Amino acid sequence: MDLINDFRDKDKILAISKLIKKESNKPLNIMEICGGHTHSIMKFGIPGLVGEHINFVHGPGCPVCVMPKTRIDEAIKLASMDGVIFCTLADMLRVPGSHTSLMKLRGEGHDIRALYTPLDALKIAQDNPDKKVIFFAIGFETTTPMSAVLVEKTLNLGLKNLFFHINHVTVPAPVRAIMNDENVKIDAFLGPSHVSVITGSNVYKSIADDYKTPIAVSGFEPLDIMDSVLNLVRQQNANTHEVYNEYARVVNENGNLRAKELIDKYFEICDFPWRGLGVIPNSGMKLKDEFASIDARVCFDCSVQSAKESKACICGEILRGRAKPYDCKVFGKVCNPQNPIGSCMVSGEGACAAYYKYAKRG
C-alpha cells in the first residue's frame, strides 16, 4: 500500500465523483475550515468533480492569515530591539505589519530567523547566552503542543534567555463566530485534518448539534476530500448532522492525550483579536501567569499603534466565507504572492494564494 498515491487514484476519484453527482440534488455550501484543505481542493480541481450544487467556502484555518496587524507590529517591535534573535515559522516573515515586515527588517540587518521546528530555538538560545532569543509562536491546536514541549524543555534546562510570544488560536471559537453571523450561509463543514489529530473528532460534536451542520473530519488527499463530500451530501439528504471521521487512520475521538496534557500544563484560554473576525472571546491561548518570566508579552514593552487594514483588501470577508478571492478588486493585480497586500495572499495556506496559484483567471 502506498499511503500517498493510493489516495490520489484517478479511477477511485472519478467513481466517487459520479456517485456525488448522482446523489447531490440541492445546493450545499461546505466550509473547509483548514487552509490545507483549500489548497488540496484547488490543486486537485475538486470543485469540478463534485457537481454544480456544491460550493466550497474557504474558512479561517490559516494561522498566518488570521494574525492581526497588532500582533505583527508587536513582533516587529521585539525583533527591532538590540541584542535580540527573533525566531518564528517561515510564513510569518512576509506578512506586512503597519509599516514594514519581518522580512524587510531582516534585510536591514536584524537577526530574524525562520525555523524548521520550534526546537531549533533551544539550540539558538544555548549557543547565544548573551542574546535574548524570542520565539514568536503561531498556529492552531496542531502547533500548540510543540510550543508546550519547547516551554517545558526551556524550563527544565533552566534557560534564562529564551522568551515566548504566544499567538496560538483554537478552531471551534471562530467557527462559532462565523456561524453566529447571520450573513453567512454554511450548510456543512470539512473538519481540519491535523488539528483533529490533536483535539480528537469529538471537539466538533457540539458545533454539529448547535448549528445542525454535518461535519466530516477529512484527510488532505483528494480521495479523502471526495469521500468526505459524499458523506456530507448523504447527511444533507438524510437530514442528519453527525461528525464523520473520514481520517480515522490518524484521528480518533479523543485526540492526542499527551499533547492535550502539555497544552493544559503551560497554557490557558484567552481572548484573541482575529484579523477579519475581530476579538473572539476564549479563542486564543496564552502562557499561564506562573510562567511570566519567559512570556515576551510580559517581559518586554509590546505596546504598538497599528494602522488600519487596507480598504482595498477584503481578506476579512474572505476569512468569514462571505467573499471569494475573485471578488477582491486588488486580487492578482496589485496583490500577488510577490507583493501581498493582505494576509490571505501571503501565506502558503491562504485562499488568495491558492486561487492565484491554481485558478488564476486571465
Partner 1 sequence: MCLSIPSKVIEIDENNFATVETLGVRRGVSLDLIAEPVNVGDYVLIHVGFAMEKIDTKYALESLKVYENIVKEMNNETIGVYDGDMGLANRLK
Which chain residues interact with partner 1 by CB under 8 A? 1, 3-4, 6-7, 9, 11-12, 15-16, 18-19, 22, 34-36, 63, 89, 91, 116-120, 139, 142-143, 145-146, 149, 193-194, 197-198, 201, 216, 219-221, 223, 227, 230-231, 234-235, 238, 240, 242, 244-246, 248-253, 256-259, 262, 348-349
Q: Closer to partner 1 at the Cβ: 39 or 69? A: 39
Q: Closer to partner 1 at the Cβ: 230 or 335? A: 230
Closest CA to 340 of 330, 354, 328: 330
Degrees to nearest 5, angle at CA 192 with 42 and 39: 15
Q: Which three cell numbers stand for residue 247?
A: 481520517
Min CB(12)–partner 1 separation in Å: 4
Min CB(210)–partner 1 separation in Å: 20
Q: Are 275 and 69 spatial neighbours (Cβ–Cβ below 8 Å)?
A: yes
Closest CA to 243 of 191, 199, 198: 191
Q: Closer to partner 1 at the Cβ: 12 or 53? A: 12
Q: Closer to partner 1 at the Cβ: 248 or 292? A: 248
Distance CA 101, CA 163 (A): 21
Distance CA 25, CA 15 (A): 18
Min CB(282)–partner 1 separation in Å: 23
Q: Are 277 and 178 spatial neighbours (Cβ–Cβ below 8 Å)?
A: yes
Min CB(349)–partner 1 separation in Å: 6
Q: For residue 284, give Cα distances in angstroms to 6, 262, 274, 325.
A: 37, 16, 9, 26
Q: Closer to partner 1 at the Cβ: 139 or 276? A: 139
Q: Closer to partner 1 at the Cβ: 332 or 337? A: 337
Q: Are 170 and 207 spatial neighbours (Cβ–Cβ below 8 Å)?
A: no
Axis-axis angle for helices 120-127, 144-157 (nearest 10): 30
Q: Closer to partner 1 at the Cβ: 213 or 235? A: 235
What does the longest C-alpha to C-alpha distance in the chain come to? 66
Q: Are 33 and 192 spatial neighbours (Cβ–Cβ below 8 Å)?
A: yes
DSSP characters over 251-307: --SS--HHHHHHHHHHEEEEEEEETTTEEEEEEEEEE-GGGGGGBHHHHS-----PP
Q: Closer to partner 1 at the Cβ: 34 or 93? A: 34
Min CB(310)–partner 1 separation in Å: 24
